[in-house]
Structure 1
Amino acid sequence: MQQPASSRPLVGVALVVGSCASLPFGAAVAAQLFPKLGPWGVTSLRVAIAALLLLVIVRPRPRSWSRQQWIAAVLFGVSLAAMNGFFYAAIDRIPLGPAVAIEFLGPLVLAAVLTRRLADAVWVGIALVGMALLGVDGMVGAEPLDPLGIVFILIAAGFWAMYIRMSARVGALIPGTSGLSIGLVVAAVLLLPVGVPTSLVVAGEPDLLVLAAITAVLSSVIPYTFELAALRRLPQRVFGILLSLEPAFATLAGWLVLGQDATVLRMLAVGLVIAASVGTTLGVRRDRRPDGPFTAPIPLPD
Structure 2
Amino acid sequence: MLLSGTIGVFVVESGASPFNVVFYRCVFGALFLGVYCALRGFFRNHGFTARKLALAAAGGVFIVFNWAFLFEAYGRTSISVATVVYHTQPFFVVLLGALFFKDRITRQKAGWLLVAFLGLVLVAGVSASDLSGDSAYLVGLGYALLAALFYGLSTIITKRVTGVRPHLVALVQVLLGIPLLLPFTRLGQSAHLGTGWAWLAGLGFLHTGVMYALMYSSYQKLPTSKIAVLAFVYPAAALICDWAVYGHHVTWTQALGIPLIVAASLGTNLGWRPGRRGGPAPTAAAAPTALATPAAPAAPAAAVRPEAKAGRCAAG
TM over 0.5: yes
Q: 2:177 aligns with which of 181, 187, 211?
A: 187
Q: 2:87, 2:148 within 8 Å by CA — same for their partners in 1?
A: yes
Correspondence 1:33 to 2:27: no
Tell me the SS of whatever aligns to 1:187: helix
Q: 1:102, 1:154 within 8 Å by CA — same for their partners in 2?
A: yes
1:54 shift after superposition: 0.7
Looking at structure 2, the residues matched to 74 and 254 of structure 1 have their Cα atoms a distance apart, in angstroms, of 33
Looking at structure 2, the residues matched to 123 and 260 of structure 1 have their Cα atoms a distance apart, in angstroms, of 29
Q: 1:276 aligns with which of 253, 264, 267?
A: 264
1:250 shift after superposition: 3.2
Q: 2:148 aligns with which of 153, 157, 174?
A: 157
Correspondence 1:215 to 2:203: yes
1:93 shift after superposition: 1.5
> Greater helix percent: which structure?
1
Map residues 161-180 of structure 1 onto 2, 5 A cutoff: 161-170=152-161, 172-180=162-170
Map residues 279-298 of structure 1 onto 2, 5 A cutoff: 279=267, 280-281=269-270, 283=272, 286=280, 288=282, 294=286
Sequence identity percentage: 19
Map residues 20-99 of structure 1 onto 2, 5 A cutoff: 21-34=2-15, 37-59=16-38, 61=43, 65-99=48-82
Looking at structure 2, the residues matched to 24 and 166 of structure 1 have their Cα atoms a distance apart, in angstroms, of 26
1:117 shift after superposition: 5.1
Q: 1:50, 1:220 within 8 Å by CA — same for their partners in 2?
A: yes
- Counterpart of 1:102? 85
Q: 2:91, 2:113 within 8 Å by CA — same for their partners in 1?
A: yes
Tell me the SS of whatever aligns to 1:84: helix
Deviation track 1:204-246 (CA, whole Å, cap 9, x = no partner) reads x2x222111222345433555566667789999x999986765
Could you tell me which runs of 5 or more consecutive residues in structure 2 were left unpaired when the two chains were aligned: 273-277, 289-299, 303-316
TM-score by length of 2: 0.68
TM-score by length of 1: 0.71
Counterpart code for 1:31: V
1:64 shift after superposition: 7.1
- Counterpart of 2:116? 127
Looking at structure 1, the residues matched to 213 and 160 of structure 2 have their Cα atoms a distance apart, in angstroms, of 14
Looking at structure 2, the residues matched to 271 and 74 of structure 1 have their Cα atoms a distance apart, in angstroms, of 35
Looking at structure 2, the residues matched to 64 and 294 of structure 1 have their Cα atoms a distance apart, in angstroms, of 20
Could you tell me which runs of 5 or more consecutive residues in structure 1 were left unpaired when the two chains were aligned: 1-17
| RMSD, matched Cα | 4.0
CA distance 1:26–1:115, shift in 2 (3 Å): farther
Looking at structure 1, the residues matched to 163 and 47 of structure 2 have their Cα atoms a distance apart, in angstroms, of 13
Deviation track 1:259-283 (CA, whole Å, cap 9, x = no partner) reads 2122222222222233335545485
Looking at structure 2, the residues matched to 121 and 216 of structure 1 have their Cα atoms a distance apart, in angstroms, of 37
Q: 2:14, 2:197 within 8 Å by CA — same for their partners in 1?
A: no
Counterpart code for 1:38: S
Looking at structure 2, the residues matched to 70 and 244 of structure 1 have their Cα atoms a distance apart, in angstroms, of 31
Looking at structure 2, the residues matched to 72 and 52 of structure 1 have their Cα atoms a distance apart, in angstroms, of 22
CA distance 1:44–1:184, shift in 2 (3 Å): same
Counterpart code for 2:252: V
Looking at structure 1, the residues matched to 153 and 230 of structure 2 have their Cα atoms a distance apart, in angstroms, of 17
- Counterpart of 1:257? 245
- Counterpart of 1:148? 139
1:254 shift after superposition: 1.8
Q: 1:51, 1:188 within 8 Å by CA — same for their partners in 2?
A: no
1:139 shift after superposition: 3.8
Q: 1:107, 1:240 within 8 Å by CA — same for their partners in 2?
A: no
Counterpart code for 2:12: A
Q: 1:30, 1:42 within 8 Å by CA — same for their partners in 2?
A: yes
Q: 1:45, 1:198 within 8 Å by CA — same for their partners in 2?
A: no
Q: 2:85, 2:120 within 8 Å by CA — same for their partners in 1?
A: yes
